[in-house]
Chain A
Amino acid sequence: MADAAVTAKGIPRDVDKPAAVDLLRQMLLIRNFEDKAAEMYAKGKIGGFLHLYNGEEAVAVGAISVLRKEDLVVTHYRDHGHALAKGSDPGRCMAELFGKATGLCKGKGGSMHFCDASVGILGGYAIVAGHLPLATGLAFAFQYQGKDNVVLCFFGDGATNGGDFHEALNLSSLWKLPVVFICENNLYGMGTALRKASALLDIHKKAAAYDMPGERVDGMDVFAVREATARAVAAARAGEGPTLLEALCYRFRGHSMADPVLYRGKEEEHVWRARDPITTLRARLEAEGVLSTEEYEALEREVTTRIEEAVRFAEGSPEPAPEELYTDVYARP
């Protein structure tokens, strides 16, 4: 599963120590953001649907870590992690959840629709698989303009059974577009297990139908995700076309805050929790002598402070003005 370039315990050669620590910092930031969002949801500060990313941090962080700033990310409604990994400000992210004017989308998008063009995150989309064709088009725009940028497109396993998946992968491959499709296979689409929804369980093998490379990576291992994405991105930049990556992972919480998670076993959850991408990375860095316990605790404090600041920023921000209801419907009124 994990590639040979990544030793079982160690840190890949192309990742220096500060970079490795930064990956951990980003994953911690996402985890803290999500836990705080859950808390704020329980307090009624956040409305609508809230889909959290706990457990899947290594996928967003590993994959996005190989991107340039001008590269684009499009993703689904479980989008906080991708935005934070691409560099969105946690305060503006939290403000969006609070429905405040200072939010990423001025409070109009909410949890499922984070968009931050300034850092290249071109949207979270809430219609399953609906954004895959958009990734195709964005990649075409890069190709057309002669740019060597790429698009990373994230989606769940459930999205791979819809028609848009087929159409987007086929066209992307046909036109050799610079897009990397990353399936976050967390084994469930809402309460439906993958085995009940997909005739083929090896999602990466679906790539064969589109004559593109397909590969499965360990989505709990940030270095494995990073390594595989780096290869796919390099191929895309070189004009070789798209890749389908399947990151095997697990969402630690329910599908959304409304989900009591009655459809999967506690044992299964324990097995995956034991592979928590954050604790395993921490252990790895400590074993390599890259990170001391004190340094880790300092990281945690740093991240906690940033998230507290984010909440304070969101709390202190104004609601959108009533006139905002009518803005941005058209380019010009």
Chain B
Amino acid sequence: MPVVTFREAVAEVLREEMRRDPRIFLLGEDIVDYGGTYGVTRGFAEEFGEKRVKDTPIAESVIIGAAVGAAMGGLRPVAELMNINFAMQAMDQIVNSAAKVRYMFGGQTSAPVVIRTAGGSGVQLAATHSQNFEVYFAHMPGLKVAIPATPKDAKGLLTTCIRGEDPVLFVEHAALYGTRGEVPEGELLIPLGQAEVKRAGKDLTLISYSRMLLLVLEAASRLGKEGIEAEVVDLRSLRPLDVATIVTSVRKTNRALIVEEDWYSFGVGAEVAARIQEEAFDDLDAPVMRVAVEEVPLPYAKNLEKLAIPNVDRIIAGVKRLLGR
């Protein structure tokens, strides 16, 4: 199997799908001359022309609103929101247009829009540029949220999103673009709402997604050397959320720790913990616990930022707390 970067996997899907379906077009800030802030769309304008690869002003509300309109008009827009931090500018269009036109119009129309955006913290971008907002969107019925951690999942999920009938926020962690992994050649469709057990174990379940998955896997392998066998579940999409896979794993291990690159309060971890209590309360040997970002806007200073974001040591400490060691 070829080994490719996350960036290449995403670009490859976009290219293949654009060749396949002439209704697909891309729009976003700096995606033509600049090639996308993270270089995903480099060379796209040359191949597909500026009719299908469209630069926009810095105007997130109209980027998403226009994408929704175009989708209602029969096209298949893939909108690039340069960064999830700027999704706030488009919040109304995502929440009140994209997510709702199908439902409130009784199924007469739909907005099959894929909103690709980069997220993540950890490179000293300070409070307004280091936010993980995926949970805001996972909160909304009508919208789907895919958030892959590996190049293979990026390929399989993005293909599904583009061919799907629903609006979806597709979150690419900025620090993952350069990471590599095996990706099968040819068509690959991974349904949303299917978590994956990335590592089998029996002592506890570590639940995570996006970049935190890589840290969790590293923590699990270090714990393995100490004789602690952690099972690792990668959520891959937040809505739909694959509760069945989570619960199956927890029934086996009887303990769960959720690791997220987001604030502790009201986050994905809170949701997952609640689902586990609802469905597997009798199987739990300990309360479900969480490792998350400290409850502060992210600071710029390197030393402080490091303290704020979960790292492998903190995950291991969390595991030991959970196991009572």
List chain A positions with a Cβ less than 8 A from chain B: 47-49, 96, 99-100, 105-113, 125-130, 158-159, 161-163, 189-193, 196-198, 262-263, 319-320, 322, 324-326, 329
Contact = CB atoms under 8 A, between A and B. Distances in A.
Interface residues of B, number: 37
Contacts of A324: 299, 301, 304
Interface in B116-149: 123-129
Contacts of B37: 190
Interface in B31-56: 32-34, 37, 55-56
Contacts of B299: 107-108, 320, 324-325
B302 A99 contact: yes
B87 to A, nearest CB: 11
A163 B61 contact: yes
A110 B294 contact: no
Interface of B: 29-30, 32-34, 37, 55-62, 85-86, 88-89, 123-129, 294-297, 299-304, 307-308
Nearest to A263: B33
B128 A107 contact: no
Contact of B125 (A49, A191, A326): A49
Contact of B300 (A113, A127, A161, A263): A113
Contact of A126 (B129, B301, B303): B129
B300 A325 contact: no
A47 B302 contact: yes
Q: Which 8 A-B pairs have the closest CB atoms?
A: A110-B300, A191-B34, A99-B301, A47-B124, A161-B57, A107-B301, A48-B124, A263-B33
A125 B129 CA distance: 11
A325 B296 contact: yes
A197 B57 CA distance: 4
B33 A109 contact: no
B33 A158 contact: no
A112 B303 contact: no
Given A99-B124, A325-B296, A190 B29 contact: yes
A193 B300 CA distance: 30
A197 B56 CA distance: 6
B59 A329 contact: no
A100 B60 CA distance: 34
A319 B296 contact: no
25 contacts: A48-B124, A49-B129, A99-B300, A99-B303, A99-B304, A108-B299, A110-B125, A110-B126, A110-B301, A127-B86, A129-B58, A158-B57, A158-B58, A163-B62, A189-B58, A191-B33, A192-B32, A193-B33, A262-B33, A262-B34, A319-B302, A322-B303, A324-B301, A326-B294, A329-B296
Query: Counting chain B CB atoms within 10 Å of each CB, which of A47, A198, A319, A329 scores highest?
Result: A47
B128 A126 contact: yes
Nearest to A163: B61
B58 A128 contact: yes
Nearest to A110: B300
Contact of B58 (A111, A112, A159): A159
Contacts of A163: 59, 61-62, 89
A126 B300 CA distance: 13
Contacts of B30: 189-192
